[in-house]
Amino acid sequence: MSTRTPRPRTLRLALIASTAGALALTACSGGGGFDSGSGGGQTQAAAKGPVTITFMITSNGPADVKLQQDVVSGWEKKTGNKVNVVAASDINQQLTQGFAAGSPPDLFFTDANVFPTYAKAGNLVAYGDQVTAKDDFYPGLVKTFTYDGKFYCAPKDSSNLALVVNTDMWKAAGLTDADVPKTWADLETVAKKLTQGDRKGLVIGDTRDRIGAFMKQAGGWIVNDDQTQMTANSDANLTALKEVQKLLQSGSTAFPKGVDSGWGGEAFGKGRAAMTIEGNWIKGALKSDYPNVKYAAYELPAGPAGKGTLSFTQCYGVASASKNQAAAIDLVNYLETDAPSLQLAKGLGVIPPLKSAEAGYKAEFPDDNGFLAGSSYAQGPVTVAGMDPVLKDFDSQIGSLQTGDPKAMLDRLQKNGEAVLK
């Protein structure tokens, strides 16, 4: 992932997605090499001779573009092909316009919650089974980018939620390594001990992107395994929401707005939270905005059903309308090897999608095990085309969880989601 504070980006993408979906579906009937909309995309004939690939990325500035250019240079030398790395100002809008005009970039980043819309419209090539490293990807990432039974695109990287702890506050409260919470009961205990004055022991985001981790720890989730049925109003999910409600009502825990903050990382950096639940993007934010805060990251405590966390990821999309599909897929195969993958991880602060890169990542980032530990069991986002408005509505309900009715929230999510899946 290129964005280190995904909550704002998630909200932005959600707003864009509905427009993108409408335009992309319109493009399906407009020619440009698209198929009938069955979701498989159309494979173009391979171009002869060296080609120039247009590779559209999201970036936080020129340094990200240079990093990407440096990484692909090895492939350019090996193949004789060229790569034109383009930094998008609004990648979803630009992709939608490119699909509609029949001239999208050959290769591009795309978020997990957006790719199903493109896949449904036939704008993506389902090339995942052609990737050499397919069996080396974390299974959850393959599942995230599988739509209608087809593995569409190779995961670029991932970021997982972990429990981030202010180590100075931890020590001042008399806590030691032995007190790192392993269960929900442990979390309740340390959150209470760390609460002092206007500081909360724990501040967590008020959306399914954070609360969903409790659902997984309770054995639930929003949809079933193949995303064909809603499972939102299960007993497990009710247990999860009641646990979060219990934390909120205890006074030890708050949502960010309760401590005048926009997200958990801000509350943590400002000293309004001794703990928060965020992904590894928080490292960059703390380094930039709160460099004096000392912290450590730990695997999230387990719930009644065991461990659970959430992952956030992007994939390398290949356009159905591209004339350079074969070269684009070959470039992905190059990027999905240990050295380029680790080079990107070091530069962007993300976790490589490859199990084989774990040792190298641990050596480079020995303090990141709390984030890395969840890679083998992390749950990806719901990736059902048309589900975004339903999930956003659920997020708006979660904001009132402290005094609200969790069962009514889940029943509403269930009902609205079933309408989408019909």
The count of domains in the chain is: 2
Domain residues for the domain of 276 are 160-311+381-421
Question: Are 120 and 37 contacting, i.e. CB atoms less than 8 angstroms apart?
Answer: yes
Q: Are strands 273-278 and 150-151 parallel, antiparallel or unpaired?
A: unpaired
Whether residue 127 sits in one domain with residue 73: yes
Contact yes or no for 182/176 (Cβ under 8 A): no
- Residue 80 lies inside a defined structural domain of this protein: yes
Is 219 found in the same domain as 82? no
- Please state which of the ranges 32-36, 190-194, 279-283, 326-330 shows the lowest mean pLDDT: 32-36
Q: Is 336 part of a structural domain of the chain?
A: yes
3-state secondary structure of 383: coil
Q: Are the C-beta atoms of 218 and 211 separated by less than 8 Å?
A: no
Of the candidates 241, 246, 272, 244, the residue with the CA atom closest to the CA atom of residue 257 = 272
Same domain, 111 and 185: no
For residue 354, pLDDT over 70 is answered with: yes
Residue 153 falls within a domain, yes or no? yes
Same domain, 173 and 288: yes
| CATH number assigned to the domain comprising residue 67 | 3.40.190.10
pLDDT, residue 221, reads 98
The answer to whether residues 240 and 386 belong to one domain is yes
Co-location of 252 and 307 in the same domain: yes
Same domain, 280 and 402: yes
Chain segment 39-73, per-residue pLDDT in tens: 355 565 555 669 999 999 998 788 889 999 999 99
CA distance 3 to 95: 18
Domain shared by 205 and 92, yes or no: no
Q: What type of residue is 318? A: V
- Each residue of 83-134: pLDDT tens digit? 999 999 999 999 999 999 999 999 999 999 889 999 999 999 999 999 999 9
pTM: 0.84
Task: State the average pLDDT for the chain.
Answer: 89
